[in-house]
Amino acid sequence: MIRLHHVPASRSFRVLWMLEELGLEAEIVTYAIGDGSLRAPEVLALTPAGRVPALEIDGQALFESGAIVEYLAETRAEAGLGRPVGHPDRGRYLQCLHFAETQASLIENLNLSHIFLRPPARPSIPVLKITTARLKATLGALERLLEWRDHLLGDFSAADVMLGFNLWAAPRYVRMAPFPALAAYRDRLAARPAFVAARAKDGEQDFYDREFYEILDV
């Protein structure tokens, strides 16, 4: 039995997508951010910071999307989505897996400032500007990489699941026109049957209520 603890359109989508790439069936338990469901004791027993994803698999419960994606790639190695020790792309593979969370933590900070902060609390405009510029810089780095290859390491890998997922959230905060290679890459990922299957199981997100969030300097 595999059970995924999931919030639609959140980082747990990476695991949902990865499970589909591997052809693994899972029960999905869905939560919402902000309704307290992620703070229930039985959830905290699986994921102590009350965050998703958590994955029950192989007789254990794992949290941290990067660790789970890497674990799945390693333990289901026949699918070829990992880059094992000794593989020439091993270093760049690990770098991409971890860079995904550098980028996602910038998106998370922007989510907090733009969406989750409630009056009378007010976001800091300089912090918003710096965080947005940093997110843009990470997108620029990926754009340069993907100008001359179809996927981060050439062929599709688990690193694309980790980083590719971010491309559905980053455009809420950064205009994507300067990043045509990223747009084409996102289209390639979206066309994967496993991505389509994961989207069908994902559920509707309920935190973004705008296509794009401007920094309102008021």
Ligand X SMILES: N[C@@H](CCC(=O)N[C@@H](CS)C(=O)NCC(=O)O)C(=O)O
Angle CA(15)–CA(143)–CA(17) in degrees, nearest 5? Answer: 15
Q: Which of 7, 19, 96, 167 binds ligand X (CB under 6 A)?
A: 7
- Decide if residue 101 touches ligand X (CB under 6 A): yes
When computed from its CA atoms, the radius of gyration of the chain, rounded to whole angstroms, is 17
- Write each residue from 146 to 185 as x if it is in contact with ligand X (CB under 6 A), else as -, in one continuous string: ----------------------------------------
- Decide if residue 203 touches ligand X (CB under 6 A): no
Please count the residues of this chain forming the interface with ligand X, following the rule CB under 6 A. 13
Q: Which of 65, 113, 157, 166 binds ligand X (CB under 6 A)?
A: 65
User: Which residues lie across from 6 on neighbouring strands?
Assistant: 30
Angle CA(7)–CA(10)–CA(12) in degrees, nearest 5? Answer: 75
Q: Which of 2, 30, 56, 64 binds ligand X (CB under 6 A)?
A: 64
- Decide if residue 6 touches ligand X (CB under 6 A): no
Q: Which of 5, 6, 11, 114 binds ligand X (CB under 6 A)?
A: 11
- Residue 63 φ/ψ, nearest 5 degrees: -125, 175
Give the whole-angstrom CA distance, residue 9 versus residue 209.
13
Shortest CB 163 distance to ligand X, Å:
12
Closest to ligand X by CB, 10 vs 109, is 10
Quickly tell me which residue has 């069908």 as its tokens: 200
Q: Specify burial of residue 215 (Cβ count, 10 A radius: 0-12, 13-18, 19+).
A: middle
Shortest CB 180 distance to ligand X, Å:
27
Chain residue at closest Cβ approach to ligand X: 51
Shortest CB 88 distance to ligand X, Å:
27
Q: How far is CA 32 from CA 10, 21, 131, 199, 206, in A?
A: 10, 25, 25, 17, 8
- Write each residue from 22 to 61 as x if it is in contact with ligand X (CB under 6 A), else as -, in one continuous string: -----------x----x-----------xxxx--------
Q: How far is CA 202 from CA 10, 15, 196, 197, in A?
A: 9, 11, 10, 9
3-state class percentages of the chain: helix first, strand second, coil last, to nearest 5: 55, 10, 40
Shortest CB 7 distance to ligand X, Å:
6
Binding site for ligand X (CB under 6 A): 7, 10-11, 33, 38, 50-53, 64-66, 101
